[in-house]
Amino acid sequence: MAGAPARVIERIRKPCLALPEAVEKSFGGHVSPGFRVRDKLFVVISEDRSYMTLKAPEGVQRILVYSDGERFFVPPYVGSKGWVGVRIALKEAPNWDEVAEMIYESYCLTAPKQLVARLEAEREAGTGN
């Protein structure tokens, strides 16, 4: 499977970096993008840029994989911890609203509670993401 084009990676990068204190920093010796909040990963793009992994709320991984096994999968290494894999290099583009919401949820599961509370308040007020 060929990797996703740069524009797809940018569609992932934009909502990640819009979150409070989010930074782009690769994982270990990898060169593909990884997104962190206070040095904790919440989104990682695979080295071949064919998929991304992110945290999912409890039970969501199973629901996604069973609902669309072509798009979603249990990733190696972190799948046992509830992370979900999302194939981004398929012929049909992902639902970008859904991807943005998954990124948001992964961030909220990773970020300190005070950052999440601030983000939620901004969202409710209509001033945030």
Enclosing H/E stretch for 7: helix 6-17
What pLDDT does residue 6 have? 85
Q: What is the pLDDT of residue 127?
A: 66
If you average pLDDT over every residue of the chain, what do you get?
91
Tell me the whole-structure pTM to 2 decimals: 0.90
Percent of the chain with pLDDT over 90: 71
Average of per-residue pLDDT across 101-117: 95
Neighbours of 112 (CB within 10 A): 13
Average pLDDT over residues 62-82: 94
Confidence (pLDDT) at 126: 79
What pLDDT sits at residue 23?
97
Domain boundaries, the chain: 6-125
Provide the pLDDT confidence category of residue 4 given band limits of 50, 70 and 90. confident
Contact 70, 87 (CB under 8 A): yes
Helices (H) and strands (E) in the chain, counts: 4, 6
Q: Would you call 44 helix, strand, or coil by DSSP?
A: strand
Query: How far is it, in rounded angstroms, from Cα 114 to Cα 54?
Result: 21
Tell me, what's the pLDDT at 103? 97
CATH class for the domain made up of 6-125:
alpha beta
